Structure 1
Amino acid sequence: MTPSLPVPTDNIYKFSALFGLALVVSGIFAFTTVYTSSLEKKIKYTEAMIGLEARTTRTKLEDDTLAFNRRLVEVTQSNEMAANYALGGLIALGLVLSFYGALRWHQVIQPRDDEIARLQKEKLEAEIAKLQTEADRSVSQQPPPPSATRRSNKKP
């Protein structure tokens, strides 16, 4: 399977910056997924608890079900908090990687690439000037074409 987008492997800093951004985006997506899933579960358990709490007399099974649903809500909240901490760490790691990679790329790689581009431009300009000089010399050293001198010597 070939990837649709090429991975920037030309330097480690660019890879680090883009990988960090991918971690941030993935972390945000996972955070919203965990939040939505936890909210749905808490609503489901709370609805079951409301129906059981509304009764004045409950059986042992209903009391156990009510206690179980309360515990499920607590576990869901605990799991959500643990996931939030883990995803917060993932997002923080992504931000650090992205910032570090972008900063190092800007400080180390980009000036070198700019210098290479400047030198290549100067080299091309020098080559163009040399070719232009050679072309001007060859034009000035050529005698006039023979057909032009014959016409000027002929009498009308």
Structure 2
Amino acid sequence: MNIPLITDNVYKFYAIFGLTLVSVSVLGAVQYHNSTNELVHNLAKSHDRLVKNIGDDASNLAEYGVVLARINVIKSDRKLANYFLGGVIGIGGLLSSYGFKKWQSEVQVVDDELKRLQVKQLKQLVGEGDGE
């Protein structure tokens, strides 16, 4: 079974797909870190407010514990997200490098030679052949 590719060869597909993985992962990392930074900032404000009023009410102590737990969860989630996105970026970089290398060294060489021969043949047909 042949699966149609969006390009004329598989190495170009690897290169483009690898670059897409890297780009999407970088954009995802930026978006994820921006959203978690905003959440941590809001939790830090709550934390500061609760520290000032910790002795006033027992419910403040419970809310303080919840805020600290949420901050710790965000920190561990961020670490996991960094590992995951770093892995995807690494895989995308390797895939792209492999695709570009194979494309340049195997496919492009044949394409260039084919084009050179086509130009030579057309020149001979027109009568402008230089005897190469």
> Normalised by the size of structure 2, how large is the TM-score?
0.89
Gapped regions of structure 2 (runs ≥ 5): none
Q: 2:50 aligns with which of 32, 49, 52?
A: 52
Q: Structure 1: which 4+ aligned runs deviate by more than 4 Å?
A: none
Match of 1:26 in 2: 24
Measured at CA, do residues 56 and 22 of structure 1 come closer, stay the same or move farther in structure 2, by a change above 3 Å?
closer
Q: Which has the larger radius of gyration?
A: 1
Q: Match for 1:77 among 75, 78, 82?
A: 75
State the match for 2:92 in structure 1. Answer: 94
Distance 2:86 2:10 in 1: 24
Secondary structure of the structure 2 residue equivalent to 1:58:
coil
CA distance in 2, matches of 1:58, 1:27: 46
Identity %: 31
Moved more, 79-88 or 51-60: 51-60
Answer yes or no: is 1:121 the counterpart of 2:122. no
Equivalent-residue separation in structure 2 for 1:30 and 1:85 (angstroms): 13
Task: Measure, in 1, the Cα distance between the counterparts of 2:38 and 2:54.
Answer: 27
Q: Which residue of 2 aligns with 1:15?
A: 13
Q: Is the 8 A contact 1:8 1:14 kept in 2?
A: no
How has the CA–CA distance of structure 1 residues 18 and 81 changed in structure 2, closer, same or farther, with 3 Å as cutoff?
Answer: same
CA contact (8 A) 1:38 1:77 kept: no
Aligned Cα root-mean-square deviation (Å): 1.4
- The alpha-carbon deviation at position 56 of structure 1 amounts to 5.5
Q: Is the 8 A contact 1:23 1:91 kept in 2?
A: yes
Mapped partners of 2:52, 2:110: distance in 1: 73
- In structure 2, C-alpha distance between the alignment counterparts of 1:28 and 1:125, rounded to whole Å: 49
Gaps of 5+ in 1: 1-6, 131-156
